[in-house]
Amino acid sequence: KDTSQSSTSIANDQFLDGLLVSTFDEASCLSRYQSHLYRKASPYKPSAYLLSKLRNYEHLHSSCGPRTKSYNKTMRKGSKFSKDDAGTKCKYLVWTPSNGLGNRMLTLASAFLYAILTDRVLLVKFGTDMFGLFCEPFPDSSWLLPRNFPYWKDQKHIETYETMLGNSKKKISKELLPQFLILNLQHTHDGHNNFFHCDQSQGRLQKVPVLILWSDQYFVPSLFMIPSFRQELSKMFPEKDTVFHHLGRYLFHPSNAAWEQISRIYEAHLAKANERIGLQIRVYNTHRSPHQTIINEIIACTLQHKLLPELDVQKTATSLLKKRTSKAVLVASLFSEYGEKLRTIYKTSTAMTGELIKVYQPSHEGRQKSNNDTHNIKAWTEIYLLSLCDALITSPKSTFGYVAHGLGGLKPWILQRAYGETIPNPPCQRVMSMEPCFHYPPKYDCKANNTVDFTSLFHHMKHCEDVSSGLRLV
């Protein structure tokens, strides 16, 4: 092979076909330069237009980011803005954490896309529980919201965009705009009718210098509903089911501390196997869904889809095979039972195929502790390791699983929710898209002023296999 060619292809792999720029200091973020050693090159290529949008965004971020003149001016409480400033000044979108790490990463990616579409600078309010997870994603600047942000602690007195929309008859254009506004896209169970996906709302939001986002949802499909964004989005993402795959790989690079864990576990337990199978087992209610039922369900799923071999209970054949191939099974769960039971099963019996099956579960935290930094590093490590697998089985409605398969560019088999002792039939189902599911999408048709099922308006939106009222881009 021509060496110049292969070094170009290594550079392509390393920088994810142009998603990443090469100007970062390697030592500050090893994963950025080493992830291609563990993850196969993605078959999905980012569009040239997406790359140009990312480069423009990087430029905007470094000229408006923390500690620039514009930043200092805009973030000063009581700075005056009029609607004429809207086009010329730096504008910001402040992301705030809500719920577990999976939810947080999905809203971060959604926020980033919204920031790109609206020429805002994305800043993240990371407390100590998130500080050590990721590298800085944007060159020559920081995405961390400085601690002296005037509303770091208390956001009680900021107007929300619901009240602003409610006051729409007050002729907002003549008034001074609010300088800070809370954009509340947190999920609700009351029909979830916010009007964020309506063009009129975007017209108003556009003029507010600082939006503070409260959300726990993957709201990207909402952005595809907004007429003024639609054309940009189709140019950026000719393949609509790659939004999270590209933006997630652009944004989320494990910090050196996380990378140390990831590479240690990968080298010790996954690297040598011929194939890696990831199992993500999220049980919300252990009384309704007993561990043994879920184990049986997983085994049924792996057999049905030939992800793991059948066991040779009569011990007839194959152990004489000279060259045994191996499969590594990575188990991510809060509960130790899963790794233990599966390890015992594959240790005590041989596979019909003669393959060696090795089960490894990195942690068992017992319960969710999302405000704890070492807990979150473990969660991130496992999400990342799952994303390095060749095939995934994940749990229904889990954003933890969504992030893993989205980063990996994988279409997982999602387990059906099990109740009692019955193994659901079918035990699992392959999802049609690697996009995360938007669990609580809007149902309001802004033009027609009535309720609508958006899958009937957009052929690239489908209801999710695991959440029937949710929406997934396909």
Footprint of ligand GDP (CB under 6 A): 99-103, 282, 332-334, 363, 365, 368, 370, 375, 378-379, 382, 398-400
Shortest Å distance, C-beta 130 to ligand GDP: 11
Shortest Å distance, C-beta 179 to ligand GDP: 31
Burial 326-346 (b: 16+ CB within 10 A, else e): ebbbbbbbbbebbbebbbeeb
Shortest Å distance, C-beta 383 to ligand GDP: 8
**Are 36 and 258 spatial neighbours (Cβ–Cβ below 8 Å)?**
no
Shortest Å distance, C-beta 439 to ligand GDP: 9
CA dihedral 167, 207, 158, 252 (to 10 degrees): 130
Q: How many CB atoms within 10 Å of residue 311?
A: 17
Residues 6+ apart with CB under 8 A from 91: 74, 118, 119, 120, 121, 208, 209, 210, 211
Q: How far apart are CA 346 and CA 336, in angstroms?
A: 16
Shortest Å distance, C-beta 210 to ligand GDP: 26
Positive or negative CA dihedral for 438, 439, 443, 444? negative
DSSP string, 144-204: BPPTT-TTSS--TTS-BHHHHHHTGGG-GGGSPPPSEEEEE----SS-----TTSHHHHHH
Residue whose CB is less far from ligand GDP, 98 or 429: 98
Residues 6+ apart with CB under 8 A from 147: none
Pairing of strands 450-451, 444-445: antiparallel
Residue whose CB is less far from ligand GDP, 226 or 391: 391
Residue whose CB is less far from ligand GDP, 337 or 355: 337
Shortest Å distance, C-beta 382 to ligand GDP: 5
Q: How far apart are CA 285 and CA 218, in angstroms?
A: 23
Shortest Å distance, C-beta 340 to ligand GDP: 14
Shortest Å distance, C-beta 472 to ligand GDP: 15
Residue whose CB is less far from ligand GDP, 102 or 309: 102
Residue nearest to ligand GDP (CB): 100
Positive or negative CA dihedral for 2, 5, 7, 10? negative
Shortest Å distance, C-beta 227 to ligand GDP: 31
Q: How far apart are CA 349 and CA 311, in angstroms?
A: 6
Q: How far apart are CA 367 and CA 19, in angstroms?
A: 36
Residue whose CB is less far from ligand GDP, 177 or 379: 379
Residue whose CB is less far from ligand GDP, 103 or 201: 103
Pairing of strands 413-415, 428-430: antiparallel
Burial 22-37 (b: 16+ CB within 10 A, else e): eebeeeebbbbbbbbe
Residue whose CB is less far from ligand GDP, 242 or 399: 399
Residue whose CB is less far from ligand GDP, 99 or 469: 99
